[in-house]
Structure formats: structure tokens, C-alpha cells
Amino acid sequence: MKLLLKGGTVVDPGGGQSGPADVLIENGVISDVLSPGAGPKDADVIDVSKMTIIPGVIDIHTHLREPGFEYKETVASGTRAAAAGGVTSVACMANTDPVNDNGQITEYILEKAETTGVVRVYPVGAVSRGLSGEVLAEIGELAAAGVCALSDDGHVISNSDLMRRGMEYAVTFDLPVISHSEDMSLVADGVMNEGFVSTELGLPANPPQAEEIMIFRDVTLAQLTGARLHVAHISTAGGVEVIRRAKERGVAVTAETCPHYFTLTDDAVRTFDTNTKVNPPLRSEEDRRAVIEGLKDGTIDVIASDHAPHDIVEKAVEFSYAASGISGLETLLSLSLQLVRDGEMTLFDVVEKLTIAPARTLGLAGGTLATGVPADLTIVDTGEDWTVDPRAFFSKGKNSPFAGRSVPGRVKMTIVAGSIVYREGAIV
């Protein structure tokens, strides 16, 4: 079966190309990217005039919540949210219940993905058993079952020796270690960024240095162990700077940030809207600028969603009691495209952070439109703006601080392995 996407503009940083082109898909893989009109006559044609064709977005930081928290999200609902957001692959974090700290849970998630999912799912295994931060999880078993990386994300590995041993063990299995970097003794009971806004609101706060200190520890341990370190959700100027220096020294470190860290500041917390409560917290304008600079100069490799869906009851409470997190899959691409709209970055560079860079970071398939690669694509109208309405999310998590915001880039179609999984507002 041949499918020809005709009349669009291809932006494929992985393949180093950008411009008007038609994409030919055969048997679920990219068979060619051709000059406009040069495709075969016997293909089924989809007219994508005025649309932009990019490799399917790869989100290496999502929480699918299954098993254990199916009321917040399931593999089925989370992958539908992904598809609606133009995301064709997700790496899902291990803080489920039970924790994904053994091969059986990994297999369970992969099985759920196979039977109920609509995009690719790559489980991330835990570093420590039960995310306790005390003893190593069965990392070999996890690797054999097919995890793509190791992380205690959602929890911090405060014990430096355990982090070291986890990194060392991970090297054997060539797995990257993803760090949620916060010095918990400095975080203490903080529920927002420490700064002028927390001073006015009187909410317990934690300083940006909590992140910076832990990133420094982790890059230092990466240097010691030779492990591949990936630092999750960078939110601070200090964190960006530590990674910049580490990269200059040749440490094998990559980093990601999330749209909320380059879109919002702690000023958004003034409303006491619990949808602005995230972990790490929204930071200052200075930090926001530094995160954008980090994206521009390559210090930050990847944009990920940190999709953290929660049930309404966990957010409709006092700020301090509310769960942390944003349901982010469906706004990931558009909030990133806002960087292009604002003239901060080129479309080419933003697409790179969402496709080939995350694929390389975790060693995943896809992220480019090279011949022979699985045909995962996102077709987006970068010129069409839309208004975020969490009630319309496919995710069970309606927790978004972006409700009502007008954003650029409407996802028109999401294709996984040559099959259309999302088209114009509907899962296919």
C-alpha cells in the first residue's frame, strides 16, 4: 500500500531538509521524500497543501499513570492525548503503582500499549526498588524487558551513593539515567519558587539553587561513572549554566525542558490556581529567559511535556495540598511553536528539539523522515491558531494552566507506522 502526502512543506532536522516536498509511505515506512509532484501515480494521495509535515513528535517525559492510577490516565487515554498533540512516541515514567521496577510491570505496560495504545510507548524503568531511593531496582531485568531508560522521576534520588551505583549498573546495559534533580533538603516543604512572588503570597517556597545543586551532583557522578545522564525538566538559569559547563567539559549529559518553563513564570501562581503547581515549580522571568537561551545554544537538547495528568479532586483543593503537574501532551507542540511565533527560534530548530533530539537522547527509533524509517509523522498547520480548552482534551487530566490561551499550530493529522491515528479532532 502506497500513501502520498502531497503539497506540504517538509521540515526534517534529522534528515537536514526543509522545504516543499511530497512524502511517500509504503508498508508503514518512509519510502521517499520527493520533489513536489514527483510521486508515483498509483499511490493513495492525501492533500496536505499549506501544511507542514514533520517527523512524529517524540515526548520522552510523560506519566501514563497505568498501572495503579487509571482514574488519572491510562495507556489508552494517554496515547490518544499524545496522538491529538501530534506525538507519535512517548517514554512513560516509572512512578506507577506498582512501580515499574521489575520486568513484569514493563511487560504489562508494553502489553497495554500493544492492545489499547495508539502511539508508540517506551517504558522507563525505576533506578531504585519502589522508588525508595535505597536499593537498586532489577535493572538487568528491566533492560531485558525493554525499558528505554532508567529514572526515579517524581522522586529524587537523594542518596548520592545509590545514584552512583545506579549509573554504574546502567552503563552495563547501555541505558541512560534520567534525573529529577532537586535537593530535597533545600526544597523542604516548598510548593512554589522562592522569589518575590512567594514573598508576597506567603507560600512555602524552594530556591532555584535546589535544582542547580542536584544537577551539579548528577553531572559530577556522570563524569565519575561514564554513564549517559539526561537531566529532566530544567527550570532554572543555574541549572542551564551547570549543564553548559558540563557539556564543555565533555560530560555525556543531555537535558530537557518543558513548555511551561519557557512560557510561564511564578507570576502565574498569584491566582492561587492549583493548575500552576508543578514540580519543579514555575520560576522567575530571569530563569525563563535562561531556559530559552539554553534551548537556543543547544545546552538544552529536548523539549518534553512532563505530561502529569491529575484528577480534578487532586487540584480542587488548597494550593499546598494540590498535586503537582500539568496535563501537557496536547499543548506540547503548540506551546513550542510559540517560540517560533515569538521569533525566539526557527521552526527547524524547534522541530529538532521535538523529534530527532529526543530520539537520539534515549536511542529511540524515528525522529526523522529518512528512507526506511517507520512512517511516524505529524502534519500541522503552523498558521492556524487555536484556543486551549482542557475540557476537550483526550487526556483524562484536565489540569492545564493554559486554558483559554490562544496558541499557534493546529495538529491536522498524526500518523504512526503509516496509519493515520488522529485526524482533525478525532482518533481514527
CA atoms 112, 113, 115, 116: torsion sign: positive
* Opening angle at CA 288, ends 284 and 293, nearest 5: 145
State which of residues 55, 207, 390, 408 lies at the interface with another protein (CB under 8 A).
207
Which residues belong to the active site? Answer: 306
Least distance from another protein to the Cβ atom of residue 409, Å: 32
* CB nearer to another protein: pick between 134 and 285: 285
Applying CB under 8 A, the span of 119-127, 197-205, 342-350, 407-415 interacting with another protein comes to 197-205
Q: What is the CA radius of gyration of the chain?
A: 20
Asked if 318 is part of the footprint of another protein (rule: CB under 8 A), the reply reads yes
State which of residues 5, 113, 150, 203 lies at the interface with another protein (CB under 8 A).
203
CA distance 252 to 243: 10
Residue 317 binds which of Zn ion, another protein, none (CB < 5-8 A, kind-dependent)? another protein
Asked if 71 is part of the footprint of another protein (rule: CB under 8 A), the reply reads no
* CB nearer to another protein: pick between 317 and 365: 317
Residue 68 binds which of Zn ion, another protein, none (CB < 5-8 A, kind-dependent)? none
Least distance from Zn ion to the Cβ atom of residue 152, Å: 9
State which of residues 180, 230, 398, 410 lies at the interface with Zn ion (CB under 5 A).
180
Least distance from Zn ion to the Cβ atom of residue 123, Å: 16
Applying CB under 5 A, the span of 174-182, 319-327, 358-366, 381-389 interacting with Zn ion comes to 174-182
State which of residues 37, 202, 343, 372 lies at the interface with another protein (CB under 8 A).
202
Residue 153 binds which of another protein, Zn ion, none (CB < 5-8 A, kind-dependent)? Zn ion
CA distance 286 to 231: 20
Applying CB under 8 A, the span of 92-100, 117-125, 309-317, 379-387 interacting with another protein comes to 309-317
Question: Given the C-alpha cell 513536489, which residue does it identify?
Answer: 36
Contact present, 89 and 331 (Cβ < 8 Å): no
Query: How many other CB atoms are found less than 10 A from the CB of residue 365?
Result: 13
Applying CB under 8 A, the span of 15-23, 190-198, 235-243, 323-331 interacting with another protein comes to 190-198
Contact present, 331 and 385 (Cβ < 8 Å): no
State which of residues 135, 321, 404, 406 lies at the interface with another protein (CB under 8 A).
321
Least distance from another protein to the Cβ atom of residue 274, Å: 9
Asked if 182 is part of the footprint of Zn ion (rule: CB under 5 A), the reply reads no
* CB nearer to another protein: pick between 75 and 290: 290
Applying CB under 5 A, the span of 26-34, 122-130, 153-161, 259-267 interacting with Zn ion comes to 153-161
State which of residues 55, 195, 238, 397 lies at the interface with another protein (CB under 8 A).
195
Q: Which residues make Cβ contacts (< 8 Å) with residue 307, sequence separation at least 6? A: 59, 61, 62, 63, 78, 81, 90, 326, 327, 328, 329, 332, 395, 397
State which of residues 153, 194, 212, 266 lies at the interface with Zn ion (CB under 5 A).
153
CA distance 352 to 368: 9
* CB nearer to another protein: pick between 71 and 321: 321
Asked if 196 is part of the footprint of another protein (rule: CB under 8 A), the reply reads yes
Q: Which residues pair with 32 in a beta bridge?
A: 24
Residue 323 binds which of Zn ion, another protein, none (CB < 5-8 A, kind-dependent)? none
Asked if 288 is part of the footprint of Zn ion (rule: CB under 5 A), the reply reads no
Q: Which residues bind another protein (CB under 8 A)?
A: 188, 194-196, 198-205, 207, 271-272, 313, 316-321
Q: Which residues bind Zn ion (CB under 5 A)?
A: 153, 180
